[in-house]
Amino acid sequence: MKQAASPFGQIQLRELQFIPGYLLERKQPTVVAKLSFNNDSVSQRHLAIFDRIVETHLASDREFALTEKLSEHVIWGRLVQATLSLLAIGGMPLFDVVDGFFKRQKRGTVVTLLLPALEHAPGTVGLALNAVLEILNLILSDKQPEAVADKVDLVRESVRRVSPRGVNSMLFLQAAHEAGIPWRYVNSNIYQYGWGSKARWLDSSFTDETSRIGVFVARNKVSSASVLRKAGLPVPEHSLVGSVEAAVDFAQHLGYPVVVKPADMDGGKGVFALLRTEQSVRDAYAKVVELSGNVLVEKHIEGNDYRLQVHNGDVFWIAHRIPGGVTGDGIGTVEQLLDELNADPMRGEPGTNAWRKRIPLDDEALGLLREEGLDRNSVPKDQQFVRLRRACNVAAGGVPVPALDGAHPDNLELGARAARLLRLDLAGIDLLIPDIKQSWRHSGAAICEVNAQPQLSQHLQAELLGRLLTNNGRIPAIVIIGDLSQTSWYVDLQAWAAQSGYCMGLATGEGVWIDGAQVGAVRGHALEAGLAMLLDPKVDVAFFQLTDNSATQTGLAVDRADLLVVTDLIGSPSDSDIARSKRLVSMVGRMSKSTCLSEHLMNSQEALELAGLSEVEYLPSDQILKRIKCCIEGEL
């Protein structure tokens, strides 16, 4: 992906190149941007104008990793930070360190930037960079940038369409990056964590083992309650209603308070709890029916609200969900206390990916205040809790408090059985009970909802990845530089792997082989074959054969290899071919835990000079075979 020089001002975008594989020490695909600037000095006035525009239109709460040299540069650091912020507000995962290389020339400075990218939408990086460049160049030309908000919205929407959807997906990717778990985009909102036989797929908190039937039943509250009720589990009495009058009649039959909610939506959408009057039921019905034609009226169950997170029959987390509200100090009004609460930078607007949500002083909040004989100007007593949200879920401004320690075993089994009955490997069970430390069999309780795609607390993504993956999802990855057909040990290795029960995959520029049989031809280069092989859940060991130097331009299919084996130098003995071979061996060698070269290269002057790699071993064929076996058995 290359681009002509930018027409804007003094800073020119000379070229964009997309690296779909992995480069040294990078964990994401990369866009390499080359820019030039014909003036190394920029006035403080110009910088101040740019900073104000960035603060107004490109503010992001995300932190970005830049090398020290780049972050401290008055121009390039600002340019990169603004570009990353624009990508971040569109929801793009940006975890890699951004590096920059500067080269001074007679007419100014040329800078090369390494920017993280999405493999399925690398153009978003160029789109954001061009937008920021246009703004900056207009400022440097003493012109007023126009329609900045429109430009930002256009880029943000383009990025949003290709970025992970939902809080869960981004937090899973971030947790994977921090744990050193490789991840790649698959399709839609599905991401793969790990390689080959140790890989898992996730779509938000759906796993590749989540039952489609279970999800279908769980998402219909009437159906899921029916299953749980048949199995003897406690669920609230409820009924579908087809009109507002029917809703009022059934609410009166149940006795107040009641809950009105959609029967076919999850995530706490449209839930109106603790309704105590006919008018509140009418108001709630009018709002719910806008979201769904299936309106449910349910008996409100008194008790604390707990979310039990279940995975494969194990309750691994419980959160006591405190409803959104404020706690009095005897001094501030309700409105003042709420303003202070919403000022917390950890809170964002409802509907955003912020983990905690701001609570508006809207009709729902004012209605709850009236029920308590309060209004926005009332001053609650010290430590008096004032509830401003009927539902307790986090999406409505609730606060989760850890509650797993001391939870009664009966309650744990109740949550695990609910998930098991609906055939869900991962589920969030919403349990209403006076005290999670007391058995539901004695205190009473009700399961009000089973979430087949639960929103996970922020720290649970890392724990769940640990549950899903072994060895961080990695399989042995071995890179071969040279022609395998000229070796004697590879055939012996295939026989040993088959006998030992290991499925070997081989990716070359010609295609993919699994257990010695070609399974697909991949056009292009070895990178595409390597990525294709790593998608296959049958592959226990991944071999990547490089017979040309294309990997220096495309990157590798893995971010690191366990072993590099050089069977021969690539190309002819010409100086240019030797130089390219050295660059290839240097790059792959630095991305590998260890490197060994075929013994016949020992006396090659070129081999001795290869890239200055330390601890390079020269081994005969039988020792190479032994070394590969040890590598495979050690990793598996």
Q: Is the pLDDT of residue 4 over 50?
A: no
Top-ranked range on mean pLDDT: pick from 44-58, 63-77, 250-264, 461-475: 461-475
Per residue in 346-359, pLDDT tens? Answer: 787 776 666 678 88
Calculate the alpha carbon distances from 413 to 10, 214, 310, 573 in Å.
67, 19, 10, 70
* CA–CA gap between residue 148 and residue 133 (Å, rounded): 12
Asked if pLDDT for residue 132 goes beyond 80, the answer is: yes
Q: What is the pLDDT of residue 135?
A: 93
Reported as a pLDDT band with limits 50, 70 and 90, residue 174 is: very high
pLDDT in tens, 487-505: 888 999 999 999 999 999 9
Predicted pLDDT of residue 604: 59
Contact assessment for residue 273 and residue 211, using Cβ atoms and an 8 Å cutoff? no
Ordered by start, the domain boundaries in the chain are 11-163, 237-299, 475-635
- Segment 33-48 shows an average pLDDT of 86
Q: If you average pLDDT over residues 207-224, what whole number do you get? A: 95
Sequence-separated (6 or more) residues with CB below 8 Å from residue 50 = 78, 82, 135, 136, 139
CATH superfamily of 237-299: ATP-grasp fold, A domain (3.30.1490.20)
Which pLDDT does position 9 carry in this prediction? 47
pLDDT value, residue 574: 60
pLDDT in the model for residue 61? 78
Assign 577 a pLDDT band (cuts: 50, 70, 90). low
Mean pLDDT for the chain overall: 89
pLDDT digits (tens, 9 = 90+) for 217-267: 999 999 999 999 999 999 999 999 999 999 999 999 999 999 999 998 876
Superfamily name and number for 475-635: Mur-like, catalytic domain (3.40.1190.10)
CB atoms within 10 A of CB 385: 12
Is the alpha carbon torsion for 159, 161, 163, 169 positive or negative? positive
Q: What is the pLDDT of residue 8?
A: 40
Q: Which residues contact residue 113 at a Cβ distance below 8 angstroms, ignoring those fewer than 6 apart? A: 32, 33, 34, 35, 70, 76, 80, 98, 99, 100
- Bridge partners, 66 (sequence order): 98
Q: What is the mean pLDDT of residues 604-618?
A: 62
Asked whether residue 2 carries a pLDDT value surpassing 50, the answer given is: no
pLDDT tens digit sequence for 328-351:
999 999 999 999 988 887 787 776
- Average pLDDT estimate for 456-463: 92
Cα-flanking dihedrals φ and ψ of residue 613, to 5°? -70, 135
